Amino acid sequence: MPDPAPPALRADARRNLDRILIAAREVLAERGMEATIDEVARRAGVGHATVYRRFPTKEDLVVTVMERHLARLLDVARAAAEEEDAWAGLRGAIEQAAAAQAEDRCFLDAVGHDVKGTPRVRERYMEILAAYGHLLRRAQEAGQVRTDLEPEDLPFILYAAARSVPVPCGPPELWRRYLGVMLDGMRPEGASGLTPRAPTLAELEASAPAEGAPAA
C-alpha cells in the first residue's frame, strides 16, 4: 500500500519555507559551505528553531536547495517535450537551463561538488539527463540536430554556456551570445566530425561528485 501523501503546508509555513530556501541559496553563494544555519535564519527573518525543524542538518538544507534548482530544469524539459517543433523545444530548454545555471552560478560553484554525490541529488540529476536526452534524440530523429551528439554532451554545453563570461563584461547576459554559437554548432548543416568521443553515462556518473563537474 503506498505511503500517504505528506500534508500540505499552511500558507504561513510555505512562506517561511520559501524564505529559508531563498536565503540559503544567497548565503551559500556568498559563504560556501562555511555558512551556518543561524546565518540562513537571520537572512530569512525566522528563528533558528524554525530552520532546524525543517532541516535537522546543514546538508539537508543544502541538498533541498540543490533539488529545487534541479526541479526547475526538469520542469523546463518536460514542458519542452510538448513543443510540436522538436528543435524549438530543445533550443528553448537549453536556453532556459543555461539561464538557470547562470543565475545560480555562485551557489553551484560554492556547494555543487559537496552535494552532487548524495543519493537524492544524483537521482534527480539522472532524471534531468534522461529528460534532456529525450529532447535531443527527438530533434535528431527530425533531422534538426547533428547525429553525432550524445545526451551526455548536453551538461558540458550548459556548463560552458553559463560560464562563458568569467567576469562581468559588456551587456547583461553576454553568455547568451556564446550559447547562440553553441546552438548553431548543434545543427546538421556544415557539421564537421567531433573528436574525441562523448563521455559515457558511466563516466559522467563517476564525475558527478567531483569539484567542477558540470550540472545538467
CA 132-135-136 angle, to 5 degrees, is 90
CA-nearest of 34, 159, 174, 37 to 105 is 159
Per-residue pLDDT of the chain (216 residues; tens, 9 = 90+): 444 444 555 677 788 999 999 999 999 989 888 889 999 999 999 998 999 999 999 989 999 999 999 999 999 999 999 999 999 999 999 999 999 888 888 888 887 666 777 888 889 989 999 999 999 999 999 999 999 999 999 999 988 888 887 766 777 788 888 899 999 999 998 677 778 888 888 888 777 644 334 444
- Residue whose C-alpha is closest to residue 45's, from 16, 70, 69: 16
Amino acid identity for residue 150 in this structure: E
Instruction: Give residue for cell 537551463.
Output: 97
May I ask the CATH class of domain 9-56? mainly alpha
What pLDDT sits at residue 163?
82
Identify the CATH number of the domain defined by range 59-207: 1.10.357.10
Asked whether this chain's domains 9-56 and 59-207 adopt the same fold, the reply is: no
What pLDDT does residue 205 have? 78
How many Å is the maximal CA-CA distance in the chain?
60
Domain boundaries, the chain: 9-56, 59-207
Q: Which strand (E) or helix (H) includes residue 159?
A: helix 154-162
DSSP state of 9: P
Sequence-distant contacts of 137-141: CB under 8 A, at least 24 apart: 138/81, 138/86, 138/89, 138/90, 139/86, 139/87, 139/89, 139/90, 141/86
DSSP state of 35: -
Burial category of 126 from C-beta neighbours within 10 Å (exposed 0-12, middle 13-18, buried 19 and up): middle
Residue 29: partners with Cβ closer than 8 Å, 6 or more residues away: 104, 106, 107, 110
Looking at residue 42, its amino acid is R
Distance CA 100, CA 95 (A): 9
Q: How far apart are the first and last CA of the chain?
A: 34
> Going by C-beta distance under 8 Å and a sequence separation of 6 or more, which residues neighbour residue 205?
122, 126
